[in-house]
């Protein structure tokens, strides 16, 4: 692939586990050189996380492999004077410094924003934390589940009988990482104009609330708190999960013409003129009755047949897949979403990693190298001219 948008950008990545590594993975896919700075002999905690105990023991756990392809790894102990000197030398040549320590940790190590800016005025420094670098909660520990609960996300996930429920993947970590990657890309664009670096303070809590969109804004505007609705869409009906002959089917007939087309295709054209369902707001009020009528008709054919028929007619509809089924979709193969890489330990296994859903000039963004072994690129470390730590 020709030069990617962030080609020539160097990122020093001090992050662990998910939000930070997910951010730097996006930057790597966009062309940045990402150097993971890891604790000697230990490294990223994600190296020991995942369902395969052997990989965890080898320091290449599945959780690590998923987010770190294409990066480099060097080991530095920032409590050691010689390693601090090496780190500061690297800072002078870096474009971005990324970390997801608890708020203020890096500053207590002697690398607050004033010091970083002194070492490299062009540096873009991004700190990801649960609650941001300031405020009464800034020192509280936070993982994804904590943020899901505090944001209100869990309160509206599931049904009135099952909520609160955790979303089935670490969505707050992912959203925090995406917001951080977006802000870094924007800061680099701004630096090209001003020549000056910037400090980016990313709060996972705030990023998650922002991503919750209508669930939050509808309350702020209308004063009506959102409620858990399971697989139904609060903004429209019929919109949710329905019963096909062989299993569940998602249908989102959010427009009037889609509702009318759906009724015709399932053989229930009479529902169009039913006073309970004729208008959008009436359908929402009588959602349960409408769903019962449609389910009775939909149970006559398999989900795959309905998916094809409804989609061709312009009604959004699709089967509900498992993760193993989803990753085998022909659509993903067509767009080159997954990349096969050799395993970092040299074993004959194949490592499959995801892209990010972006094509650049028609080409998918792919990692070119497997995730690094801990300290794999230590030999790349440059030794400063002096052995002591810079003042």
- Tell me if residue 173 is catalytic: yes
Euclidean distance between CA atoms 129 and 13, whole angstroms = 14
Euclidean distance between CA atoms 103 and 87, whole angstroms = 20
Supply 113's token pair: 């924003």
Point out the catalytic residue in the list 144, 173, 201, 270. 173
Burial class (CB in 10 A: 0-12, 13-18, 19+), 331: exposed
Contact 260, 272 (CB under 8 A): yes
3-state SS of 160-185 is: CCCCCCCCCCCHHHHHHHHHHHHHHH
Return the residue matching tokens 């996300």. 153
Per DSSP, the residues of 217-240 read: HHHHHH-------TTS-TT-SSEE
Supply 158's token pair: 């599931």
Query: What is the DSSP-derived secondary structure letter of residue 156?
Result: G
Supply 148's token pair: 């899901």
Of 242, 224, 249, give the one whose Cα is nearest residue 234. 224
Which residues are annotated as catalytic? 173
């Amino acid at each position: 692939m020709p030069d990617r948008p962030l080609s020539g950008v160097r990122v020093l990545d001090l992050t662990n586990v998910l939000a930070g590594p997910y951010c730097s993975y996006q930057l790597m896919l966009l062309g940045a050189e990402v150097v993971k700075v890891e604790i000697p002999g230990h490294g990223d905690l994600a190296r020991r996380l995942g369902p395969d105990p052997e990989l965890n023991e080898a320091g290449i756990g599945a959780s690590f492999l998923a987010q770190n392809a294409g990066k480099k790894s060097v080991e530095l102990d920032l409590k050691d004077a010689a390693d601090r000197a090496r780190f500061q030398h690297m800072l002078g040549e870096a474009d971005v410094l990324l970390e997801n320590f608890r708020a203020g940790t890096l500053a207590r190590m002697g690398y607050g924003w004033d010091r970083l800016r002194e070492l490299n005025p062009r540096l873009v420094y991004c700190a990801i934390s649960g609650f941001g670098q300031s405020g009464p909660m800034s020192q509280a520990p936070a993982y994804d589940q904590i943020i899901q609960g505090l944001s209100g996300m869990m309160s509206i996930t599931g049904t009135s009988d099952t909520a609160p429920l955790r979303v089935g993947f670490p969505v707050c970590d992912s959203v925090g990482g995406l917001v951080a990657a977006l802000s870094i890309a924007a800061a680099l664009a701004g630096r090209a104009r001003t020549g000056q670096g910037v400090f980016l303070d990313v709060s996972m809590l705030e990023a998650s609330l922002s991503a919750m969109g209508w669930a939050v804004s509808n309350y702020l505007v209308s004063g009506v708190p959102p409620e858990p609705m399971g697989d139904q869409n609060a903004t429209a009906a019929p919109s949710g999960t329905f019963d096909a002959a062989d299993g569940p089917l998602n249908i989102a007939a959010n427009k009037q013409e889609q509702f009318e087309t759906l009724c015709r295709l399932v053989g229930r054209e009479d529902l169009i003129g039913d006073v309970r369902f004729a208008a959008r707001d009436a359908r929402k009020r009588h959602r349960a009755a409408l769903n019962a009528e449609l389910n009775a008709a939909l149970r006559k054919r398999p989900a795959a047949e309905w998916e094809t028929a409804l989609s061709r007619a312009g009604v959004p509809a699709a089967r509900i897949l498992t993760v193993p089924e989803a990753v085998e979709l022909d659509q993903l193969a067509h767009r080159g979403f997954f990349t096969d890489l050799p395993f970092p330990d040299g074993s004959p296994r194949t490592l499959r990693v995801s892209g990010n859903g972006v094509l650049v000039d028609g080409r998918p963004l792919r990692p070119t190298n497997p995730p690094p072994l801990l300290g794999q690129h230590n030999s790349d470390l440059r030794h400063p001219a002096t052995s002591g730590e810079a003042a």
